Amino acid sequence: MHFWIPLVSLFLAGLLPESQAWWFFESSGRQEAEGPISETCIAKASRGVCDFYPCFDQRHPCEDDNYALTYGWRFCSQFELHYTRLDDEGKRWVNATRKCAMAAMLEFYNDDNVNCQDVEAEMIEAHGECEAQNGLCSASLLQNNNHVFEDIYGVNERSANRLLQSLKHCGRSQARELVQWLGTRFETLIPNLREFFQSWGDKIKEGVSGIIENIRS
């Protein structure tokens, strides 16, 4: 996924004198790990245990763009809190999504240096893909567990947008159908759901047009 980024960085840093290598990593936004790799931490990720996120933060603490604590840990612990309220499909979805997302994050965990913005951007995307691949696109999941989704994602506009960003991975037409199961609280937080998905479609068109234009030029 992101393996080429550290390879290129290490190659370029190797071309610099040792006294200047630290400047390269600092100016590129990368920071060195502050803790060793922990086999206990890796084991937590393989089991999908929420404590993996604080464990990640101990090795790669991020002052800003801290995905591990403000995103990963937050929503993982929220689903842990409401776990018994989920039906069997919901529990399977939570368990599979956790392992999938943490497996993706292990790539960053094992790196000796990371860019916190890269971690946040790539992991939000990876987490959304994991959620969609493991059942978020199922109408029955949202319909039968909408009370839990509403209590977790319906608390404010930012959290609601977080879920909508994941639903994008289901495809625009399906995502627009799925939001009907999210409850009235989401309509209050994001009253223009139709515009949300329309703007998403416009961005996709702009991206495709840009690619075609680059090919032609």
Domain boundary among 113, 136, 159: 136
- 41 plus 130 within the same structural domain: yes
Of 120, 136, 152, which residue sits at a domain end?
136
Same structural domain, 39 and 111: yes
Give the whole-angstrom CA distance, residue 60 versus residue 108. Answer: 9
Q: Are residues 147 and 162 in the same domain?
A: yes
Q: Both 51 and 131 in a single domain?
A: yes
φ, ψ dihedrals at 114, nearest 5°: -135, 160
Residue 48 within a domain: yes
* Distant-in-sequence, close-in-space partners of 137: CB < 8 Å, separation ≥ 6: 167, 169, 170, 171, 174, 178
Whether residue 71 is contained in a domain is answered as: yes
Range of the domain at 148: 138-217
Task: Please tell me the distance from the alpha carbon of residue 28 to that of residue 9, in angstroms, as a whole number.
Answer: 9
Please check whether residues 168 and 211 belong to one and the same domain.
yes
- Domain match, 101 and 87 both: yes
Neighbouring CB atoms inside 10 A of 167's CB total: 25
Residue linked to tokens 């939570």: 94
pTM, two decimals, is: 0.75
Q: pLDDT digits over 144-198, tens only?
A: 999 999 899 887 888 888 888 899 899 878 887 887 777 677 777 676 655 666 6
Are 95 and 146 contained in the same domain? no
Where does a domain end: 87, 109, 136? 136
Residues 147 and 177 both lie in one domain: yes
Answer for the pair 105, 114: CB distance below 8 angstroms, yes or no: no
Q: Which residue has the higher pLDDT, 84 or 4?
A: 84
Query: In this predicted structure, what is the pLDDT of residue 21?
Result: 44
155 belongs to a structural domain: yes
Whether residue 21 lies inside any domain: the answer is: no
Number of domains in the chain: 2
Claim to verify: residue 144 and residue 90 sit in the same structural domain: no
The answer to whether residue 13 is domain-embedded is no
| pLDDT score at 192 | 62
In this prediction, residue 112 has a pLDDT band, given cuts at 50, 70 and 90, of: very high
Same domain, 173 and 100: no
Q: Is residue 124 part of a domain?
A: yes
What's residue 151's pLDDT?
A: 92
Indicate if the pLDDT at residue 19 is higher than 50.
no
More confident residue, 190 or 45: 45
Q: Is residue 45 part of a domain?
A: yes
Report the pLDDT value the prediction gives residue 206, as an integer from 0 to 100: 41
Do 127 and 173 belong together in one domain?
no
Which range in 31-45, 60-74, 179-193 is most confidently predicted, on average pLDDT?
31-45
90 lies in the same domain as 155:
no
More confident residue, 129 or 186: 129
Return the H-helix or E-strand segment holding 7.
helix 4-14
Model confidence at 3: pLDDT above 50? no
What rounded mean pLDDT belongs to the chain?
81
- On the question of pLDDT at 23 being above 80, the answer is no
Q: Is residue 6 part of a domain?
A: no
